[in-house]
Structure 1
Amino acid sequence: MNAARDIDRHAAELGIDHLKPDQRRAVEALLAGCDVLGVLASGFGKSVVYRVAATMLDGVTVVISPLIALQHDQVLAVADTDAVTAVAIHSGLSASRTEKAWRRVADAETGVLLYLTPEQAARPEVRERLTFLSVGAVVVDEAHCIAAWGHDFRPAYLRIAEFANAVGRPPILALTATAPPPVRDEIVARLGLTEPLLVLGDVDRPGIHLSVRHHAHADDVVSAVVHDVVDLARGAGTGLVYTATRAATTQYADLFAQHDVRALAYHGGLSARDRNEVHRRFVSGDVDVVIATSAFGMGIDNPNVRFVVHAAPPDSLERYYQEFGRAGRDGESARAILHYRAEDLGLQNFFAVRRPNQKVVRTVLRAVVAATDPLPTDAITALPSVSARSAGTALDLLERVGAVRLNRGDDGTAGWVDLDSDVRAVMSRVRAAAEAEESAATSRVEMMRHYAEAGRCRRRMLLEYFGAAPDDATDDDRCGRCDSCESGRADRTAAAAGSGSADLGLAPGDRVRHEQWGEGEVVSVEPDRVTAHFDEQGYRTLASSVARDRDLLKPA
């Protein structure tokens, strides 16, 4: 009881009146020295967990966050309290400002939140500084970025486990809003989490109405998107429109402006100054609609977003959930509309597949094999035609196929050593691993297609995908807040599927084995089909009758 009151007191010092049960469980676990994986919906208040913990832990709480703009917002969020000192150190700071920031960390008399990008955390000088400070916890925000088969893979995240070990291996808190079971497993493995507490929040967003508009031609999509957005902007408030290309962001911004809708385009090609200005105006409500590629939105905390419209389908249900989840964070009603043309997923298939540069992988492998001592990561990124990003991707692949390993010396130095010097054999395994990753990426796109084209309750499909459907759920369940349920299509689909149903005796979460695809986990069971995620192949859907008659899915 005293511990609970102590947590409440520290939360109150941060201006937090009430902790949600899942927030409290995560804080308690961190204080007890346990690793935590939190899969919590957008707008849930994930940052509250590490803010409160930082005021109670001995030493610095390092928060690894992917975006400098997000770090800036997080620092400002606690600027008015004396309960914690928040500092962000990133590449945008001058040498003098960086040194001043480090002095603030060292001289702080309160708990410290130190925000770093994953690239900063990989820098030897940053790790050296932190070895002289006590690190109380490492927080990994947007943790799904570490999953090579996830939708937002970022190679720099792969070195976070190494970073945590270098600073004394404090407890790790991994946070994400978008992690179906296979991605959760990969986060645990890649971060080296030890028996983590899994805090799995309610991923359902019942306040967001879900719908899909089908189109035959590209021009039809443009006209329909403009119609929807103009109508919603006039009656509902601020919104987001996601497009597949940078050119489309400016095209839609011009079209909306013709209808007196205040619209701004946002994409990765804008200068940092222009991106920050769009971000500022969006958060302050000075714009009706932001039209963006997927570069916009991670960490954006604007509670008054009333609609999210996709002018093209994204490459996965994870990304779609993350993007439409930026609506309705104030708990009020919101809309999520997907404009769908089957041909658009061909483009997503192209972009979803990350083919590693075989030449770079071979160059990195040969350098490690040739080295007489463990080869530091910095030496690898200094190789001709090898960037930090491509080196990270290459080392990840080589480590996954058992060709290299990172060794750490007693003096704290680290370097890569080879475990297999047969370059030809290793490259064969690398190609096989890359093909498996390509298959998984393609399967995520196909799950997006299934969501857009199916007649089932859309909310039920999302809950099943994220492993969050109630254990007692049946295919007769309806949410009443999606176009499939409102139109009666969900009922007709269930009735038609039921005529060809085959009882496989399977349920979501069951482990199964397929002769060709290996082991996997059941994601959803419909009257006429079963979908499973296979460890090496990604998502696959089989007709229930075929799976039964040919005995294709056996218990694993």
Structure 2
Amino acid sequence: SLTKTLQDYFGYPAFRPGQFPVIEVVLQGRDAAVFWATGSGKSLNYQIPALHTDTVAIVVSPLISLMQDQTHKLNFLSASSASGTQKPVATFLGSSQTDPDEEAKALRGEYNLIYVTPEKLVTSEFLQALEKLHKDYKPIRLIAIDESHCVSEWGHDFRPSFRSVGPSLRTHDVLRQIPLLALTATAVPRVQEDILTSLQMENPLVVRQSFDRTNLEIIVKPKSTGGTGSIPSAFQSLLADTIVYAPTRSQVDNIASYLQTHAPSNVRIEAYHAGMNAEDRTTAHRNFLTGVTTVIVATVAFGMGIGKPDTRRVIHFGPPKTLEEYYQQIGRAGRDGLPATCILYVASSDLDRYQSDFYLGGLHGKAKEATLESMEAMKRFSLDAETCRRKQLLLYFNEEPAFGDRCGTCDVCKSVEKYGDDAQRDFGGEARIVLHAVDALNQQSMSQI
């Protein structure tokens, strides 16, 4: 019957490995923690129990864009599903919710999935409202903490409000009985342990899978400094669904403007960042998900959990701050399991700026230590032209790659396969380019070279 719910709402013929045991445990009222790769189907672990039993799942989420994404997809699927429901099953609550009646409807049990921020969840008023929902309207089957690495002080996206989720729920007379489900794709082992402790999980089922994304081709290229004129020419052939990440809002606007001018006329390009008003962000988000927009240029605000399965490319115009953020963002590509490409354009100056107080000033203790470690890992990843890219990512998450030293798909491994060791590589082509350039500049004669 669980499989029928899966088929009716989502159209999948069967569960992916690991999903069924987690769902069964949650339905039995037991805590669980899911540490799986991006694109592995983590969200079904809390969606199916609520839909199958017509109960409520409270989903604690760190980003508005993530809540909007999940809500939009679930309601679209419900409207066209074979379940017979054909009514909205999900909503999100918070400052970006434009319908003033949504919260009242949600707390009367009219939705199966309610997405909230941790800041809202831990208020005494909302906890009291959840108790009333649970007792008087519709039972709460589980409380899911999505992107749960935000709970840990060792995590790259630590949020103090997330740290309060476990104590707030576990000390509540009624809500303490509801099982917790923690999910994340970016938690190193010490963060995983801290999540379990901080959420005060009781005898949880802990399920770990490989973090390897075998369908992603990972490429790192040098980026020149300067303005929009330095945007690589590869950006101009954006024919497949693409996310372009840039570190700052101004860079997002500049790149989007540049691409709108230079891209083919049939390619629609939009920007997305926190400086835009809520309506414009929602429109840009919806247009990308529905295929109206081919390319979205965004800050990290469009990062976690965005699930457009057929995104074929993720391009970084400058590296993110930490290696976890990078892994999270390239995880937007190829979620349908088909090949996808991830290109990182990087300059050494990009990495240096993250050492400033602007990025580190609000961090202290474990959070600062963990961030500095991950920043250093991001720097090594960006500048190491000898070690397999996928191997570097997996080793960071304390996983030995099953493929050994060479994945065969990243830029480093393809270069080794083509040229062999650098000592044996033929640099004739590169040398001719240099010599022609020197000759053209008339700096010295070819014979002197």
Class of the TM-score when normalised by the shorter of the 2 chains: 0.7 to 0.9
Judge conservation of contact 2:91–2:102 (CA < 8 Å) in 1.
no
Distance in 2 separating the partners of 1:184 and 1:493: 39
Report the counterpart of residue 2 of structure 2 in structure 1.
7
Letter in 2 for 1:251: N
Counterpart of 2:48 (choices 26, 45, 52) is 52
Are residues 1:86 and 2:90 paired? yes
- Give the C-alpha shift of residue 188 in structure 1: 1.3
Judge conservation of contact 1:225–1:339 (CA < 8 Å) in 2.
no
Letter in 1 for 2:166: A
Distance 1:77 1:159, change over 3 A: farther
Counterpart of 2:393 (choices 459, 462, 472) is 462
Letter in 2 for 1:36: A
Counterpart of 2:191 (choices 178, 183, 186) is 183
- Give the C-alpha shift of residue 79 in structure 1: 3.0
Report the counterpart of residue 253 of structure 2 in structure 1.
250
Per-residue CA distance 1:179-231 (angstroms, 9 max, x = gap): 1212212211211122322222232112111111124x403x85564312113
Judge which range, 240-249 or 123-132, deviates more: 123-132
Judge conservation of contact 2:56–2:113 (CA < 8 Å) in 1.
yes
Distance in 2 separating the partners of 1:44 and 1:27: 15
SS of structure 2 residue aligned to 1:305? coil
Per-residue CA distance 1:78-118 (angstroms, 9 max, x = gap): 5334569434333435654432332234xx8xxx3332222
Judge conservation of contact 2:217–2:339 (CA < 8 Å) in 1.
yes
Counterpart of 1:484 (choices 393, 412, 419) is 412
Letter in 1 for 2:337: G
Judge conservation of contact 1:264–1:289 (CA < 8 Å) in 2.
yes
Are residues 1:438 and 2:443 paired? no
Report the counterpart of residue 512 of structure 1 in structure 2.
none
Report the counterpart of residue 242 of structure 2 in structure 1.
239
Distance 1:440 1:88, change over 3 A: closer
Distance 1:180 1:494, change over 3 A: farther
Alignment of 1:311-390 (within 5 A): 311-350=317-356, 351-355=358-362
Distance 1:494 1:467, change over 3 A: farther
Judge conservation of contact 1:240–1:309 (CA < 8 Å) in 2.
yes
- Give the C-alpha shift of residue 437 in structure 1: 3.3
Letter in 2 for 1:311: F
Report the counterpart of residue 449 of structure 1 in structure 2.
379
Q: Which runs of 5+ in 1 are unaligned?
A: 1-5, 357-433, 496-556
Letter in 2 for 1:344: D
Per-residue CA distance 1:291-341 (angstroms, 9 max, x = gap): 111111322221221111111111111100111111111222211111111
Letter in 1 for 2:19: Q
- Give the C-alpha shift of residue 136 in structure 1: 2.4
Report the counterpart of residue 312 of structure 2 in structure 1.
306
Distance in 2 separating the partners of 1:37 and 1:210: 28
SS of structure 1 residue aligned to 2:78? coil
TM-score normalised to the size of structure 1? 0.66
- Give the C-alpha shift of residue 58 in structure 1: 8.5
Distance in 1 separating the partners of 2:167 and 2:365: 27
Distance in 2 separating the partners of 1:177 and 1:185: 14
Alignment of 1:81-480 (within 5 A): 81-82=83-84, 85-91=89-95, 92=97, 96-105=101-110, 112-132=112-132, 133=134, 134-165=139-170, 166=172, 167-215=175-223, 217-219=224-226, 225-231=231-237, 233-234=238-239, 237-261=240-264, 262-350=268-356, 351-355=358-362, 434-454=364-384, 455-470=386-401, 474=404, 477-480=405-408
Judge which range, 265-274 or 49-58, deviates more: 49-58
Per-residue CA distance 1:420-463 (angstroms, 9 max, x = gap): xxxxxxxxxxxxxx245323322211100111112101111111
Judge conservation of contact 2:272–2:284 (CA < 8 Å) in 1.
yes
Judge conservation of contact 1:242–1:294 (CA < 8 Å) in 2.
yes
Judge conservation of contact 1:239–1:305 (CA < 8 Å) in 2.
yes
Distance in 2 separating the partners of 1:288 and 1:56: 35
Letter in 2 for 1:64: V
Distance 1:292 1:55, change over 3 A: closer
Alignment of 1:70-81 (within 5 A): 70-80=69-79, 81=83
Number of equivalences: 400
Judge conservation of contact 1:305–1:334 (CA < 8 Å) in 2.
yes
SS of structure 1 residue aligned to 2:196? helix
Give me the CA root mean square deviation: 2.7
Letter in 1 for 2:376: E
Letter in 1 for 2:167: E
- Give the C-alpha shift of residue 480 in structure 1: 0.6
Letter in 1 for 2:378: M
Pick 1 or 2: higher relative contact order, CA cutoff 8 A, min separation 6.
Answer: 2
Distance 1:223 1:478, change over 3 A: farther
Distance in 2 separating the partners of 1:456 and 1:222: 31
Distance in 1 separating the partners of 2:52 and 2:241: 38
SS of structure 2 residue aligned to 1:338? strand
SS of structure 2 residue aligned to 1:61? strand
- Give the C-alpha shift of residue 62 in structure 1: 1.6
SS of structure 2 residue aligned to 1:459? helix
Judge conservation of contact 2:71–2:90 (CA < 8 Å) in 1.
no
Per-residue CA distance 1:131-151 (angstroms, 9 max, x = gap): 231432111111122122322
- Give the C-alpha shift of residue 20 in structure 1: 1.1
Letter in 2 for 1:464: L
Report the counterpart of residue 432 of structure 2 in structure 1.
none
SS of structure 2 residue aligned to 1:469? coil
Judge conservation of contact 2:228–2:258 (CA < 8 Å) in 1.
no
Report the counterpart of residue 405 of structure 1 in structure 2.
none
Report the counterpart of residue 446 of structure 2 in structure 1.
none
Distance in 2 separating the partners of 1:468 and 1:457: 14
Judge conservation of contact 2:388–2:412 (CA < 8 Å) in 1.
yes
Distance 1:485 1:270, change over 3 A: same
Distance 1:198 1:491, change over 3 A: farther
